[in-house]
Amino acid sequence: MGCPLQMVSETDPSFPERHRDLASLEYPVPYALVQTPERLEIRECGPGGARLCVDFLTGRLGYRRQHGGGAGQAVARAVMSRSKEPPRVIDATAGMGRDAFVLASLGCRVTMFERNPVVRLLLEDGLRRAYGDPELRERLILSPLNSILDLPREQCCDVVYLDPMFPERRSSALVKKDMRIFHHLAGADADAGELLPRALELAARRVAVKRPRGAPYLGDVPTADSIVTPGCRFDLYFPGKLYPPGEPGSKGP
């Protein structure tokens, strides 16, 4: 039996009531959704518990916002390729918005989709605080829709980026505390394979799928085009090209 999500506000007594629909959510360990005077965050209950929030203003993301950089990152190469103009991007599995932020900081206009209700609240809060920057307000947008499956079947962007949740590593020592919380919040994307066919309908140029190295292709659809890094790979798919299904569980490089 799981632990129900607790809701706490340090500033607004009505906060738990406004989010009572989240009270039915349960997790492997006790978590609290906490509204502080500065931000919204998830906390592991108990002494020394980890915390998770969306923050585009400080840390590595804040540094990048102020000083630039990121063009050499694999996600930028997978999505932007050698485009003369920054592409219009759909991030279909936005999560904490970190990859979307990197792309937006490089000039892309990124529309994010996120269906998990708690992660979406964290993302909305991070964007609210970041929107003091007019460039971010212009380039980094959270769709009111939860999924690209809710979009019409027609091209509406240049690139679709997919980073579906992959099962957590068995050794928790290998997973950073904030990512462990995120894994618990988001859970596995059991229907992630449905996103690839729709993404190929929406993208005019390419679909980039982030996967762990050695993981099966998304939806068991192999591609010969991948960008491989020490920790992960980006499988590339191109609209109009035929991709016959591979063997179930077939793994990429």
pTM for the model stands at 0.91
pLDDT score recorded for residue 69: 62
Phi, psi of 164 (to 5 degrees): -65, 150
The confidence score (pLDDT) of residue 41 equals: 96
Cβ density class 106-127: b for 16+ within 10 Å, e for less: bebbbbbbbbbebbbbbbebbb
Look at residue 234 in the predicted model and tell me its pLDDT.
96
| SS3 state at 211 | strand
Superfamily of domain 54-237: Vaccinia Virus protein VP39 (3.40.50.150)
What local confidence, expressed as pLDDT, does residue 148 receive? 96
pLDDT of amino acid 175: 53
Q: In the prediction, which pLDDT does 183 show? A: 84
List per-block mean pLDDT (blocks of 10 residues) for the chain, which spans 253 residues.
88 92 89 95 89 87 63 90 90 95 94 95 96 92 96 95 74 61 80 90 96 90 93 94 78 74
Give the C-alpha distances (Å, rounded to integers) separating 148 from 23, 51, 94, 97, 166: 27, 29, 11, 16, 19
User: Amino acid letter at 242?
Assistant: L
In this structure, are residues 119 and 186 in contact, taking their beta carbons and an 8 Å threshold?
A: yes
- The domain spans of the chain are 1-49, 54-237
